[in-house]
Structure 1
Amino acid sequence: MSQYPFIISPVNEEEAQSLPEFIKKNSSQLHKQLEESGALLFRGFSVKDAESFEKVSKAGTPNLLENTGGGSPRTLIQGKVYTSTEYSEDQWIPLHCEQSYFSSMPNYIWFFCLIPPKEQGQTPIGDMQELLTRLDPKLVERFQEKGVRYIYNLHGGKGFSVGWQKAFLTEDKQQVTDWLDEQGADYKWNSDNSLSIKLLAPGLRNHSSTNELVWGNQAVNWHVDTFPAQMKKMIRRVYRSEENYPKHAMFGDGSPIDETDIQHILKVQADMEVTFDWQQGDVLWCDNQRMAHGRRPFQGSRKILVALA
């Protein structure tokens, strides 16, 4: 397996001031390197704000995507640049490929370090093709055969977890309905203005460029047994039925994913994580179909921006 992330730094001041031009000029080489290593870290270039970051990401992937229906809270900064997941600083986020709870997912994800954390707060990454070789083969077979069903209950403005207005970044219910219809999602608007969604997505996927099989789901990130003990206890007490949990994951046929499976996946993922400390101005470009990312807890200010393509 290739070493990742592959670090790229400017050779002179002129190059440092023009990362978008550098990416355009070396596009074919960079895409080839990205296919080999799965992640590129641009360090030492002059990328100062959301606007310059958007120019950088568009230079590599011109067709940026809106972050619609995301399973975690974010804020739109400008154009198609968003904050990274806005969970509290003590929260640990396991490895996952962005939006792999949908039937199709972004090909690429970009990260930009606007404000590095004072302590920790790394964005670990891990190769989901390699993960398949480390997981219990019988577990992999179950996920490949059954797929994953995601339970997604979004409140209408007040409640635990994320409201649909935040997830879809709109107050327009018709806009949300139209988008869900396009996705072929199973959903229901409730009398209290909340929204209940069931998403069916693959457990494993074939990479769209290489056709290699990769681990392609977010079962551990959505499953209640991944949550801190107190939160898990509260969710089970308040919501009772798994169908009513704010977020949860089960196999595609509705059968449960055992806690032992969840813990096995988490352990194997943690063992293969690769981390680096963020520096201001860093830009990380990942193959989102292959390279998963997470987040370590942190102290102090931290602002990482994200773009999808």
Structure 2
Amino acid sequence: MATTVESLNIPSLRLDDETTITFETFSLPSTNQRTLGPPHPPNTQLPLALKPSPDSSVTLDAAISTIKHLQRTKTLTTLLARHGTLLFRGLPITSAADFSAFAHAFGYKPHEIIGIVVDRPLLAPNVAPANEAPKEVRIYNHNESPQVPHAPEYIFFYAQKAPTVGGETPISSSLELFARAQREIPEFIDLLVEKGIQSRVTYKTQRQYVGGSTLRQAFGKEILDGDDEETQRRKIEAQIARYGRGEYTTFEWGVDGEDGARQLVLTHQLPVVRTQPGTNLPTLFTGLAAYYRNTVEAQKRSGAGRKNVAQQCFGDGTPIPEEYLAALARITEEIRVLHRWEEGDVLVYDNIIAQHGREPWEGEQGDRVVLASLFDGESVPGAYGFGGWAQVVQALDG
């Protein structure tokens, strides 16, 4: 039976305006959609799937007008804060430019990743490929940018091209992940709250894996081709200072043992447990399960899989027991769904409370083209604990 907006207890998405679209909810297969557990309210679906009603006149302009109208009262932002992820299907979005216009209609501020670890060439305003790693590489569930202090609050994904087999995007709730982990491995949660994590990210002159970024892509936005090494360093360090975290973010210059080129090792003490603005519910904002799965995969296949450029341990420098990481990975897989893409689909994530990933696919690399657009919210996650490192902040403008 199709789920109605009313049964989900969410605001009506019908507007009395011929230039706008009426959105209605619809059901997806159980592999692609589930009802979330605590602390989510009853009947909370992940993702909440929306499509134009049959009597709507569907144009891109009408879709953009509708989004802007709904966002005057932050209707969609409120839905994201409850469900974590929204799916929009059946809209005439056919290009990076269309996708950019649709995403910007939500009214969020475009996000700049300082210290980006993947290569995202710009295709349209605030639009880039989601990830260009080889199709065989599985990207496990994570919140976006958990290895750096300044992360986006909202993530938009658009399927410009969908593969025939595979290539799904996993979706899971970080709120539910915390609740399950607190119940099943409470001692691990206690340690994370007490210590946070230490994230050591290595940036090299050359990219470290296919789809990865270079040192200049991560911090070199002010670097000019004629700059000498000292000038480049100064400009890179100025970008690091924009994190605004003082003693909780430190760096060390060094030399790559493989090719003798310079490298930068950046160390952050970061909170894994954060709180959702507006509710203060604790959420696990992390890539630890992905970090663990990547490590296991590399050990099985002699280095194959996605490279961990960030080394993770407890905030005091002590290692995280494998049993905790394995349990976190297990829970993550138990609560996730796999979004099966159709061309034109747009997934919108509240990055504070929802995780994503990427499944391998059959066929050619170009059979799956998913674009991404990242945005900041009005506030950042709150602290859960009392350490000075426990509160992340918006990066300074630069």
Per the TM superposition, whether the score is higher than 0.5 is yes
Provide Cα deviations, 1:62-111, integer angstroms capped at 9, x if missing partner: 31112332233333223211211222111111111111223342211111
1:14 shift after superposition:
2.3
* 3-state secondary structure, aligned to 2:373: strand
1:275 shift after superposition:
1.7
1:208 shift after superposition:
2.2
Q: Which of 64, 71, 81 is equivalent to 1:20?
A: 64
* 3-state secondary structure, aligned to 1:60: coil
* TM alignment of 1:202-213, pairs within 5 A: 202-213=271-282
Residues 7 and 41 in structure 1, CA contact (< 8 A), matched pair in contact too:
yes
CA distance in 2, matches of 1:158, 1:127: 31
Quick one: structure 1 residues 79 and 46, their matched pair in 2 at CA, closer, same or farther if it must change by over 3 Å?
Answer: same
* 3-state secondary structure, aligned to 1:264: helix
CA distance in 1, matches of 2:122, 2:284: 29
CA distance in 2, matches of 1:207, 1:15: 34
State, as a whole percentage, how many aligned pairs show the same letter.
24
Provide Cα deviations, 1:133-162, integer angstroms capped at 9, x if missing partner: 212111111111111111111211265564
1:234 shift after superposition:
8.8
Alignment correspondent of 1:151: 200
Structure (1 or 2) with the larger CA radius of gyration: 2
Alignment correspondent of 1:164: 215
* 1:286 matches 2:332: no
CA distance in 2, matches of 1:89, 1:227: 15
Read off the aligned partner of 2:49 and give its amino acid letter: I
* Runs of 5+ consecutive residues of structure 2 not aligned to the other structure: 1-35, 37-43, 224-231, 256-260, 376-398
CA distance in 1, matches of 2:147, 2:63: 32
Highest relative contact order (Cα 8 Å, sep 6+), 1 or 2? 1
CA distance in 2, matches of 1:158, 1:294: 21
In proportion to residue count, which structure has more helix?
1
Which shows bigger deviation, 45-54 or 171-180?
A: 171-180
Read off the aligned partner of 1:139 and give its amino acid letter: F
Q: Which of 71, 87, 97 is equivalent to 1:51?
A: 97
Residues 119 and 299 in structure 1, CA contact (< 8 A), matched pair in contact too:
yes
Alignment correspondent of 1:141: 190
Quick one: structure 1 residues 107 and 283, their matched pair in 2 at CA, closer, same or farther if it must change by over 3 Å?
Answer: same
CA distance in 2, matches of 1:287, 1:42: 14
1:226 shift after superposition:
4.3
Alignment correspondent of 1:132: 178
1:272 shift after superposition:
0.6
* 1:266 matches 2:329: yes
Alignment correspondent of 1:188: 252
Quick one: structure 1 residues 46 and 169, their matched pair in 2 at CA, closer, same or farther if it must change by over 3 Å?
Answer: farther
1:231 shift after superposition:
6.0
Q: Which of 202, 216, 219 is equivalent to 2:285?
A: 216
Quick one: structure 1 residues 251 and 91, their matched pair in 2 at CA, closer, same or farther if it must change by over 3 Å?
Answer: same
* 3-state secondary structure, aligned to 1:256: coil
* 3-state secondary structure, aligned to 2:240: helix
* 1:179 matches 2:239: yes
Provide Cα deviations, 1:182-210, integer angstroms capped at 9, x if missing partner: 21431123242221111221010011232
1:175 shift after superposition:
4.0
Aligned pair count reads 300
